[in-house]
Amino acid sequence: MARLESPEELGKFRKKILSKRDPNTPCISICAGTGCIASGAGEVIAAFKAEIEKQGLKADVNTKETGCPGFCERGPVVVIYPEEICYLQVKPQDVPEIVSTTIKEKKIVERLVYADPSTGDKAIHESEIPFYKNQKRNLLGSNIKIDPKDIDDYLAQDGYSALAKVLFKMSSKDVLDEVKKSNLRGRGGGGFPTGRKWEESCNAPDEIKYVIVNADEGDPGAFMDRALLEGNPHSILEGLIIGAYAVGAHEGFIYVRQEYPLAVENVGIAIRQAEEYGLLGKNILGSAFDFNVMVHQGAGAFVCGESSALMTALEGKAGEPRPKYIHTAVKGVWDRPSVLNNVETWANVPLIINKGADWFTQFGNERSKGTKIFSLVGKINNTGLVEVPMGIILRDIIFKIGGGIPGGKKFKAVQTGGPSGGCIPEEMLNLEVGYDELTKAGSMMGSGGMIVMDEDNCMVDVARYFLDFLTDESCGKCLPCREGIRQMLKVLTNITKGKGKEGDIELLEELSEVAGEASLCALGKSAPNPVLSTIRYFRDEYEAHIKEKRCPALSCKDLIAYYIDPAKCEACMICLKKCPAEAIDGGKGKIHIIDQEKCTKCGTCIEVCPPRFRSVRKMSGEPVPPPIPEEARKIVRESKQR
Amino acid sequence: MSEILIQIDGKEVKAKEGMTLLEAAQSAGTKIPTLCYHEKLAPYGGCRLCLVELESRGWTRLVASCVYPVEKNLVVRTRSEKIDRIRKMLLEQLLAHAPDSLELQEMAKEYGADRNRFEKETSFCIHCGLCVRYCAEVKKKNAVGFVNRGIRKEISFIPDIAARECWDCKECFPLCPTEALQAAFVLVKALTFP
């Protein structure tokens, strides 16, 4: 492939790609993102290839391995174009039927289309499925149409046209103005206005400047950036090059966590292809603008997602944050002006350039514009990635898109903002999703993790879980974070073990103040959020643990007991046989009793007790009734008496 | 170098551009407590005891004075109810690890810190990094470094460098604010069980 030497050549080349692609040729798009691969997409892809070959359709049907469209709960996801028929949870054995029925006969395979779990209503096309219908997928929408390993697919979707526009029709100032006008704010969670950050860097006197992609996504349960980087790496590259042009940088870094092998692979391929096409490297598109990108793989520390720690790690040192009293945009990597933005922020840039700031600001509420991708996980029916306009209320995300809570359980809280975010309770579900709204509610936007919790989740234990995570991930450099988290975790662990004392809540609040006010970086400053937000909204749960030694969610193992109700036990022997601790005494016709000393509280008995008996129950905060006397344990069955 | 006028605890102080708030305060004779600061070393900002309150453009915030560069017209307060409260808690957290450190005890007296507030975990090391940074920045030997992170972070001598360099130097020992013997112990451990 010869280099593209001008925007005209890019335009011609794009036309050539499109002319070779007949929009009416059937194309089978199969998600090859990490989520679907884990549910067996690899086998499905192989089966499609084999079946198409077998049925002699190779010349007439295309297959495409694409990025993640987000509906991970129902993966592997297959979309068939041009009709946009969406099949979910496709298995290799479904493939022959799809090929003969849908591709050859143009009929639908009914059992593979989306069916609403409550109404049974079916949706054939992607756009009709409630999970997708209520989203606004500016960024994720292209994923299912693009093979991330093929730059031509991105070009066919108008890729790199924003770059051409910037290089030949806009000055650096025009770009800065457009991004500023769009009110784009950092998607990594800080919410700092992107345009202002760029301008600060642009105005810094240093000749050498850097631009950096922060792809060190480390929040438990979050995978937005992974999906973008794996699924549409060129959109991030294009954004990065535009940013480099705007601030005057000629070198950039993509800092991606090493635990994302597919993202590393795809972004590496994307860089090589862009270089080959002359879209990266020297004299981009004949514009005389030079820009090179290097990929740096993170070594696994969560704190390296923090901008100054990331930059320290880039310099080859241990990834520890440093003071940012002088912004990194002015004094960053090797003390040079460095613009660091999150993956999702960069991905928004080409859209803003192509469609304009006015297009971008039509989405969102007053202070947060555009869309935001969330990874919706936890106790939710539709696990996956959702992209929504800012300003949408939490209730719509959880119930309209997420499909509510599984198993008829009751919603309790949603945790946003990753490990240092906060828990938002049911009474605040009408809260608009925006940077300032979430912060005001005691949580934060973070990079977009959204963990849904139901009535079975103990909120004290949730706080303990996140502090435990942060104990491992604090770098240990500054005292309020290292020691504050250590002490808070001790107090929380004691409370969940029933060793809580009067004054523990106040101690947690005091430790929180010191960590929040005195820590060096955002990790320590925000570490108290899970504690403070759960105290704020679920203080009664803390008090029940401390004062009554009771876990209201019946979740903390040290505070609960399993008990077999003698009036309901039918001595069926199932729990007795399944108990791994051999803690259940009983026999045929002899009411079962749990030996509380031996019981490990694994919950097997309650799971296996037949629903028609429902004789095992969990209890907390009250004494377990003493075992009934031996002579009362014999079950006399009426039928046998007769 | 141009002069910058700032106010520390109500006193006008002339500082030079490029100075930190801590240096400006010290030059004016105002004492700010520190643990991880050393005049020969690059400022670290780890212990946070040197926090001061900053008033600029109408709002107050806490900053670590050892790393904050002076700016025109800054209004700095080195003691306040909030600062004292935070310093007290920081000292209490440190005293759980090094209850017998004289330096810590002295500061504890000043801020009313209770050395028994938190359960003792006598690790001695309080991660000020003085030994590590002194060895790297002044001696340029890197014989001692930090290993691990978070609450598992600890100092560790690198046996082959230590065997070569340390016996004749030991300049890091007296820098330790908790217990010079602690560094000696870690060094001996590294040499005995490399």
| pLDDT, tens digit, 9 for 90 and up, residues A187-221 | 988 899 999 999 999 999 999 999 999 999 988 88
> Is residue A49 situated within a structural domain?
yes
CATH number at residue A519: 1.20.1440.230
pLDDT over threshold 80, residue B155:
yes
Compute the nearest-CA separation of A396 from chain B (Å): 37
pLDDT at A362: 96
Q: Nearest by CB to A517, from B62, B68, B148: name it.
A: B62
Same domain (yes/no): A283, A415: no
CA–CA distance, A436 with A608 (Å, rounded to integer): 47
Same domain (yes/no): A449, A473: no
C-beta atoms of B86 and A519 within 8 A? no
**Which residue from A minimizes the CA distance to B61?**
A517
pLDDT at A80: 94
- Whole-angstrom CA distances from A179 to A137, A273, A339 are 20, 27, 14
pLDDT range class, residue A446, cuts 50, 70, 90: confident
Number of compact structural domains in chain A: 5
For the residues A120-136, what does the mean pLDDT come to?
91
> Is residue A165 situated within a structural domain?
yes
pLDDT at A31: 94
Q: Nearest by CB to B62, from A323, A485, A518: name it.
A: A518
> Is residue A337 situated within a structural domain?
yes
pLDDT at A418: 85
> Is residue A117 situated within a structural domain?
yes
For the residues B97-115, what does the mean pLDDT come to?
92
C-beta atoms of B127 and A487 within 8 A? no
pLDDT over threshold 70, residue A641:
no
| pLDDT, tens digit, 9 for 90 and up, residues A374-397 | 999 999 999 999 999 999 999 999
Same domain (yes/no): A335, A422: no
Mutation target vs A (from B149, B156, B178; most A CBs, 10 A cutoff): B149
- Domain end residue (candidates: A509, A525, A548): A548
% of chain B with per-residue pLDDT over 90: 68
Compute the nearest-CA separation of B90 from chain A (Å): 7
CA–CA distance, A170 with B11 (Å, rounded to integer): 51
On whether any CB of chain B is under 8 Å from the CB of A483, the answer is: yes
Chain B residues in contact with A479 by the CB 8 A cut-off are 46-49, 90, 93-94, 126-127
For chain B, what are the domain ranges? Answer: 3-78, 80-122, 130-192
Only one residue has tokens 């938190």, namely B118
Compute the nearest-CA separation of A354 from chain B (Å): 38
DSSP structure string for chain B: --EEEEEETTEEEEEETT-BHHHHHHHTT-----SS--TTS-----S-TTEEEEEETTEEEEEETTTPBP-TT-EEES--HHHHHHHHHHHHHHHTT-TT-HHHHHHHHHHT--TTSS-----------HHHHIIIIIS----EEEES-GGG-EEEE-HHHHHHHTTTT-TTGGG-SS-HHHHHHHHHHHHH--
C-beta atoms of A480 and B48 within 8 A? yes
**Which residue from A minimizes the CA distance to B127?**
A477
- Domain end residue (candidates: A90, A117, A145): A145
For CA atoms B85, B89, B94, B97, the dihedral sign is positive
Chain A residues in contact with B150 by the CB 8 A cut-off are 471-476, 482, 485
**Which residue from A minimizes the CA distance to B89?**
A514
CATH class of B3-78: alpha beta
Backbone angles phi and psi of B63, in degrees to 5: -135, 155
C-beta atoms of B86 and A472 within 8 A? no
Same domain (yes/no): A610, A637: yes
> Is residue A615 situated within a structural domain?
yes
Within its chain, how far is the Cα of A489 from the centroid? 25
| pLDDT, tens digit, 9 for 90 and up, residues A27-67 | 999 999 999 999 999 999 999 999 999 998 888 899 999 99
Q: Nearest by CB to B45, from A486, A517, A520: name it.
A: A520
On whether any CB of chain A is under 8 Å from the CB of B81, the answer is: no
Range of the domain at A376: 371-454
Chain B residues in contact with A484 by the CB 8 A cut-off are 93
> Is residue A17 situated within a structural domain?
no
On whether any CB of chain B is under 8 Å from the CB of A471, the answer is: yes
Same domain (yes/no): A444, A392: yes
Among candidates A181, A185, A197, A314, which has minimal Cα distance to A247?
A197
For the residues A170-181, what does the mean pLDDT come to?
96
Average pLDDT for chain A = 93
pLDDT over threshold 70, residue B182:
no
Same domain (yes/no): A540, A589: no
> Is residue A537 situated within a structural domain?
yes
For the residues A480-491, what does the mean pLDDT come to?
96
Q: What's the ipTM?
A: 0.93
- Domain end residue (candidates: A145, A175, A209): A145
pTM for the whole structure: 0.92
Beta bridge partners of A27: A62, A81
On whether any CB of chain A is under 8 Å from the CB of B80, the answer is: no
pLDDT at B183: 62
Number of neighbours of residue B12 by Cβ within 10 angstroms: 9
CATH number at residue A114: 3.40.30.10
> Is residue A280 situated within a structural domain?
yes
pLDDT at B55: 87
Same domain (yes/no): A131, A261: no
Same domain (yes/no): A44, A134: yes
Same domain (yes/no): A227, A324: yes
Q: Nearest by CB to B151, from A303, A325, A486: name it.
A: A486
Same domain (yes/no): A65, A165: no
pLDDT range class, residue A642, cuts 50, 70, 90: very low
Same domain (yes/no): A63, A203: no
CATH number at residue A247: 3.40.50.11540
pLDDT range class, residue A136, cuts 50, 70, 90: very high
Same domain (yes/no): A443, A466: no
For the residues A390-415, what does the mean pLDDT come to?
95
Chain A residues in contact with B46 by the CB 8 A cut-off are 477-479, 520
pLDDT at B59: 84
